[in-house]
Amino acid sequence: MLTLSLARGLFLVLGGGALLLSAGNLSGMLAPGATFDLAVPGGFALGALLLAGGAFVESGRPLLAALCWLALVVVVVLCAVLVWITFSSARDAILYALVPVSIVLLATARLAVARVRAGVLGASAAGS
């Protein structure tokens, strides 16, 4: 149970951080003459997905279970993109990508195991 709590906590902290960073950037975009940046709505969407992935991992409702799976898939894809960009830019891959990505992927795997134990698509779908 401790590893599940740590994994949920990591997702909740990362999601909250993404939301706060996006809200901070939104204030700069509201100034006169500012240009629209796609990273701000992307940050809001990523933050909401991470919060949903951490909060609804043991939910029995099919829609919340699907939202949790979507969050886990998005995290895995974004981790792969981060590693690919880091290796292609010839930076120190272990420091900038492999260590943080391994921590996030371990948390993602733990949440996926908890999601499977709770029913892949929720309790109502598991019983039918």
Q: Convert the pLDDT of each residue in 78-105 to its tens digit.
A: 999 988 988 888 777 788 788 899 999 9
Give me the number of domains the chain comprises.
1
pLDDT at 71 > cutoff 90: yes
Residue with tokens 């981060």: 82
Average pLDDT, whole number, for the chain? 86
How far does Cα 14 stand from its chain's mean position? 7
The conformational region for residue 118 under phi > 0 = left, psi -120 to 50 = alpha, else beta, is alpha
User: What pLDDT shows up at residue 80?
Assistant: 93
Considering only residues 124 and 106, tell me which one the structure prediction assigns the higher pLDDT: 106
pTM over 0.75: yes
User: What pLDDT shows up at residue 59?
Assistant: 87
User: 107 lies in which domain range?
Assistant: 2-127
Residue from 16, 5, 101 nearest 57 by CA: 5
Tens-place pLDDT, residues 24-56: 888 777 777 777 777 788 889 999 999 999 999
